[in-house]
Chain A
Amino acid sequence: GAVVSQHPSWVICKSGTSVKIECRSLDFQATTMFWYRQFPKQSLMLMATSNEGSKATYEQGVEKDKFLINHASLTLSTLTVTSAHPEDSSFYICSARGDSRKQETQYFGPGTRLLVL
C-alpha cells in the first residue's frame, strides 16, 4: 500500500517552455500533497503544500506564479514549472498523505528530473 507515482520520470525542455509534472496516489486518497525540490548531494526542500480543492501554501522564497500547483482530486496533484530556465533544472519530488492517523506518514513518488536547456 501507499504507492505514489510521478509522471514523467524525466524531461528535457527548452528555456522558456512550461513543464507539467503529475503526482498520483495509487492506492489511497491523499488529502494533502507536498512538492519538494532536491539539488545533487543536498536534502529535500519543501516548495509547497497542497490540499485537495484549495490553494497551495508556498514556502518562503518559492514563486507561486512560477510553480503552479493544482490539487483537483484526492489522487492527483500537478506542478507546472512556467517559463522554465536552466536554473530550474532539478529533481522534483512529490509526497502524499491521507487524512487519518494511520495515513499521516508522507509517502514519496519516484521523482521527476527536469533539465532545462
Chain B
Amino acid sequence: GESVGLHLPTLSVQEGDNSIINCAYSNSASDYFIWYKQESGKGPQFIIDIRSNMDKRQGQRVTVLLNKTVKHLSLQIAATQPGDSAVYFCAESTGGGNKLTFGTGTQLKVEL
C-alpha cells in the first residue's frame, strides 16, 4: 500500500545565491534562540544563536535576525553552497538555553 508521510517545507536555491529560512515561534517569553543544521542520518549541528536582547547576529556566511514584535526568526546564508543542503531547525527556550522547543524544520536544497 501507499505510505503517507509528512513533507517538510522545502526551499530550493541556486548555488551562489543567498538563502533565507524563516521560523515563527509562539512563546513570547522565549529569550534564547538557536539555529541547527541537520544532514541526513546525523545529529543537529549548531550554527548560530541569538539572545532576545539582540535583533541581529552574524557569523561566518550566516546571519540570524530576530523580530520579537512578530515572534519571527530568520537565518540568512550567503553564497549558498551544495554543502549547505540539509534540514534547518530553529529552536527556542526560556531561561537561558535549558529546555529547547524545536520548530518543524525546513529542507534546503541547493541546485547546481
Q: Which residue of B lies closest to A6 (CB)?
A: B43
Q: Which residue of B lies closest to A44 (CB)?
A: B102
A64 to chain B, nearest CB (A): 17
Task: Say whether A44 contacts B44, CB under 8 Å.
Answer: yes
Task: Say whether A101 contacts B96, CB under 8 Å.
Answer: yes
Q: What are the residues of chain A within 8 A of B43 when measuring CB–CB?
A: 4, 6, 93, 95, 108-111
Task: Say whether B102 contacts A43, CB under 8 Å.
Answer: yes
Q: How far is the CA of A43 from the CA of B91 in the complex (A)?
A: 10
A-B contact number at CB 8 A:
58
Further contacts, 13 of them, CB under 8 A, given A46-B99, A111-B41: A34-B100, A40-B5, A43-B89, A43-B103, A46-B100, A97-B97, A101-B96, A104-B96, A104-B97, A105-B34, A108-B46, A109-B43, A113-B41
Q: What are the residues of chain B within 8 A of A49 when measuring CB–CB?
A: 98-99
Q: What are the residues of chain A within 8 A of B5 when measuring CB–CB?
A: 40-41
Which chain B residues numbered 59 to 94 have a C-beta less than 8 Å away from chain A? 89
B85 to chain A, nearest CB (A): 16
Q: Which residue of B lies closest to A45 (CB)?
A: B102
Q: A42-B6, A105-B49 are in contact. Are A110 and B97 (CB under 8 A)?
A: no
Measuring CB to CB, which residues of chain A are less than 8 angstroms from any residue of chain B? Answer: 2, 4, 6, 32, 34, 40-44, 46, 49, 93, 95, 97, 101, 104-111, 113
Q: What are the residues of chain A within 8 A of B98 when measuring CB–CB?
A: 32, 49, 104
Question: 16 pairs across A/B with beta carbons < 8 Å?
Answer: A4-B43, A6-B43, A32-B98, A34-B100, A43-B89, A43-B104, A43-B105, A44-B89, A93-B43, A101-B96, A105-B34, A105-B46, A106-B34, A108-B36, A110-B43, A111-B42
B23 to chain A, nearest CB (A): 11
Q: What are the residues of chain A within 8 A of B44 when measuring CB–CB?
A: 44, 93, 95, 108
Q: What are the residues of chain B within 8 A of A43 when measuring CB–CB?
A: 89, 102-105
Q: A93-B44, A111-B41 are in contact. Are A106 and B100 (CB under 8 A)?
A: yes
